[in-house]
Chain A
Amino acid sequence: MSSGRDNTQAQHGYALAMLKRELILAYRKRGDLANPLLFFVMVISLVPLGISPDSSLLALLGSGMIWVVALLASLLSMDSLFRGDYEDGSLEQLLLMPQALLAPVLMKILAHWLMTGVPLALIAPLLAVMLSVPGEALGVLLLSLLVGTACFSLVGAIGAALTVALRRASLLLSLVVIPLYIPVLIFGTAAVHNAASGLSSAGPLAILGAFLALAIALAPFAIIAGLRIGVDG
């Protein structure tokens, strides 16, 4: 019994150490952290310039545009998820370790979400105000983006793992992953639209949560398979 508990504790310690490593690595490259966020803000500011500064039109389009651009910003940051570890050989070491790969992979994704998804979600309500999205929808926008970007990180990691061995893979990664992002986008925007028009957004949010649960349960298998293929090839 006690050895089982020790083992579990060791696993937890191991996972926490992995998370700490990822966060430190990300903190050391602070410049890269700001890039998806800057991209998000800049592209959103193109929307009124490209379409119209008319606030009634922007209120209609705003939440959808924010979701689409958040999707793209998350996608752009995906390519580097396993790239550094692959190039310096630490990914190979991870694959050779006796411990299950699940913890390091999930911690890497958690760190990625904390570094890109959460900031994107936090800044989204500010941009939504600039695009005249109704005030009632801001909370739901934040919540739906928090869940949605976690889904993006998990599903995008599948694409990042499958293309890890390829040079200049970011375009291919987008082609592979965008179709898989579509359901999340649909329900995310549905939640915000419902909130903006005074309806309950509990349904779409619940489905987003279901997507997240499904992605947490299933995506690691595909990610680990993809990483093995990349390291073997």
Chain B
Amino acid sequence: MGSPMWAVLKNFWHKLGSPKWFYQMSSRWLPWLSAITLGLLVWGLVWGLAYAPMDAKQGNSYRIIFLHVPASFLAMVGYYVMAIAGIVGLVWRMKMAMWVLRAAAPLGAVLTFISLFSGAIWGKPTWGTWWVWDARITSMLILLFLYLGVMALQNAFENEDSGNRASAVLTIVGMINIPIIYKSVEWWNTLHQGATIKFTEAPSMHMDMFKPLLLMIVTFYLLYALVLIMNLRCEILRHERRSQWVRELALNGKLL
């Protein structure tokens, strides 16, 4: 593979493994990424909460969907991010990948919690109860446990490298759980409504509701990337605090 495209990609991949390069580049990306994310977040929330039409059956209470669905989406995507980082970290012994795993674990746990919490708030007016032991909700709870287990294992080792590798193995093992979450709706067809968005069919909700939801999902992807990069920068600083370039940044007051 001698094509220039491949060389560029390979070069980028190698650079990505360098904490210093990533820190410096992300300092340039962050203002743009934050501005775009904040703008889209305001746009999506105002559109969804104020301008999208009211639901015929659920009234205004359905509007929590604009928070609930994107958070649930990213909670699951976040687990894949961890698993991919874990595989890269184990196979190529890339320390940056292990730091991504460390940065992604609490973020995913928080998103899973938001998904469960907003689901409970939504469940009260719709189903008349805060919690039902429905398959999908339960799977989300298991996902939260998986995140917490990964975090507990990471911090249990005195040697941080062992903790990283152990939690990477656990993350990959736990990935078996993700298809079960997806399939669970079909396995045990219970109180929870079926998946609203399917990539193979037209959405079962009205376009005026679907468009702001799609916008919020895209925004949550950006928000996830933003927070992940910020967490990763903290990890980089924590591990590289004794290196020359971090000292220079700190002395020049350019750390943030």
Contacts and interface: CB of A to CB of B under 8 A. Distances in A.
Contacts of A165: 157, 162
Contacts of B180: 183
Contact of A172 (B90, B153, B159): B153
Given A183-B180, A226-B166, A233 B161 contact: yes
B174 interface: yes
A160 B124 CA distance: 40
Given A182-B142, A222-B173, A226-B169, A176 B149 contact: yes
Interface string A204-233: 000000000010000000100110011011
Interface of A: 158, 162-163, 165-166, 169, 172, 175-176, 178-180, 182-183, 214, 222, 225-226, 229-230, 232-233
B165 interface: yes
Contact of A179 (B149, B153, B156, B172): B149
B18 to A, nearest CB: 25
30 contacts: A158-B169, A162-B153, A162-B166, A162-B170, A163-B153, A163-B156, A165-B162, A166-B157, A169-B156, A175-B148, A175-B152, A176-B149, A176-B152, A176-B153, A178-B145, A179-B142, A179-B146, A179-B149, A179-B174, A179-B177, A180-B174, A183-B180, A222-B172, A222-B173, A225-B165, A225-B169, A226-B169, A229-B166, A229-B169, A233-B159
Nearest to B143: A179
Given A162-B153, A180-B177, A182-B142, 17 more contacts: A163-B156, A165-B162, A166-B157, A175-B145, A176-B153, A176-B170, A179-B145, A179-B146, A179-B177, A180-B174, A180-B176, A222-B169, A226-B166, A229-B162, A229-B165, A229-B166, A233-B161
Contacts of B162: 165, 229-230, 232-233
A162 B142 contact: no
A12 B108 CA distance: 45
Contacts of A163: 153, 156, 166
Contact of B173 (A166, A169, A180): A180
A143 B162 CA distance: 39
Given A179-B145, A180-B177, A232-B162, A172 B172 contact: no
B222 to A, nearest CB: 29
A180 B156 CA distance: 19
A200 B166 CA distance: 41
Interface in B94-148: 142, 145-146, 148
B159 A166 contact: no
A202 B82 CA distance: 36
Contacts of A214: 176
B159 A175 contact: no
